[in-house]
Amino acid sequence: MLTKYGWSPALQHDFQTFAAQGLVPARVIVQQRNLYRLVTDTGEIEGRISGRFAHEAAALHENGGGYPVTGDWVAAELKGGAAVIAHVLSRTTAFTRMAAGTAKDMQVVAANVDTALLCASLNAELNLRRLERYLATAYESGAAPVMLLTKADACEDPGPLIESVQEIAFGVPVLAVSVRTGQGLEALSALLAPGKTAVLLGSSGVGKSTLVNALAGAERMATREIREDDAHGRHTTTHRELILLPSGALILDTPGMRELALWDSEAGVAAAFAETTAQVDELAQGCRFRDCAHDREPGCAVQAALADGTLDAERWQSFQKLQRELAHTVRKEDPLAAAAERKRWAAIHKAGRARMKAKREVDD
């Protein structure tokens, strides 16, 4: 049973220490608040976390720590027809974001996934900036991203929209699908390999649960029509569930996310905007000042490229926005980083004032 859910010789090797303690391996297939459903080698079983583990998990936010989430491999003790989770095994990948609300802690949305299916609907205006966020977070997670454009039948001319997504994807597969017509479903199935896990990520109303039902050939997830007045969806999936498809592939459905605030995603943002940063680095060689911040400095080659359209202004602005968001998060978490950031900007402003003073003296 566990092999069907992705259990491997490497996991077996890593589990030896826990096996010596009398614990058994299991994978979390449903997480709904503090309730868990696990799959073990003998079948499915209800699970809960031990009191000691709950105390330890509350203080951990690192990859490999914290509470179990759907997709996690755990070490559990079987007690009276139920399981008590004692440990979470190290995660190979983790899709994270900043938790909503006032706590602003890291939230792990899905763990141990191989492919991240980043969903957006073609039945309304695409939000490319939101897709860039998903792409950055997918890169950071370690999973392979795929841009999945749903409800292709609801768009009279999807070609231009698909091209706009390809322009920000840069080599990432972009697939348009329709459950109603069957468009793209065969190509999607080809991306889902037996024993491998894919996660569906996106806003409410993009058709994630409908897609799961189509792939499963059964009504596994509840669905609901979107609102006709604004094409926005209602939250129908309220929990995360890992489903074994008839093909042997695994797919993880998640509730729609109203927002995706980045958490520790510097490398992911750099990967998602690699072509933009490479272009800026090349342009910067032509800036008048070596320490140009590419803002309002005279003789800035980057600003010139933005003005004549050589550099995509929306992409550059989006990249800068995500960089500022990440810097803000780091400063909140690390006082030393906050002090370093203030020092950096003070130096930038000082250099800017010096250049302007020198320019005025030359003009005079």
Distance CA 44, CA 89 (A): 19
Would 156 be classed as within a structural domain?
yes
Domain count, the chain: 3
Q: Are residues 84 and 166 in the same domain?
A: no
Q: Are residues 111 and 172 in the same domain?
A: yes
pLDDT at residue 355 greater than cutoff 60: no
Q: What is the pLDDT of residue 258?
A: 59
Q: Are residues 293 and 229 in the same domain?
A: no
Question: What is the tens place of the pLDDT at every residue in 248-291?
Answer: 999 998 876 656 666 566 777 888 888 888 899 999 999 999 88
Q: Are residues 102 and 227 in the same domain?
A: yes
Q: Which of 40, 64, 88 is the last residue of a domain?
A: 88
Q: What is the pLDDT of residue 130?
A: 87
Least confident range from 23-27, 55-59, 143-147, 309-313: namely 55-59
Q: What is the pLDDT of residue 102?
A: 45
The model carries a pTM of: 0.78
Q: Are residues 320 and 358 in the same domain?
A: yes
Question: What is the tens place of the pLDDT at every residue in 203-249?
Answer: 878 888 889 999 988 665 555 454 444 444 444 556 789 999 999 99
**CATH number for the domain that contains residue 160:** 3.40.50.300
**CATH number for the domain that contains residue 25:** 2.40.50.140
Q: Are residues 235 and 286 in the same domain?
A: no
Q: Are residues 100 and 76 in the same domain?
A: no
**CATH number for the domain that contains residue 292:** 1.10.40.50
Classify residue 102 as exposed, middle or buried by CB count within 10 Å of its CB (0-12, 13-18, 19+). Answer: exposed
Question: What does the pLDDT average to over 112-125?
Answer: 88
CA atoms within 13 A on the CB side of 202: 32
Are 319 and 136 in contact by the 8 Å Cβ rule? The answer is: no
Residue 318 belongs to domain spanning: 273-363
Are 262 and 137 in contact by the 8 Å Cβ rule? The answer is: yes
Q: Are residues 208 and 346 in the same domain?
A: no
Q: Are residues 52 and 200 in the same domain?
A: no
Distance CA 219, CA 222 (A): 7
Q: Are residues 40 and 115 in the same domain?
A: no
Classify residue 312 as exposed, middle or buried by CB count within 10 Å of its CB (0-12, 13-18, 19+). Answer: middle
Question: What does the pLDDT average to over 16-29?
Answer: 96
Q: Are residues 130 and 244 in the same domain?
A: yes
Percent of the chain with pLDDT over 90: 45
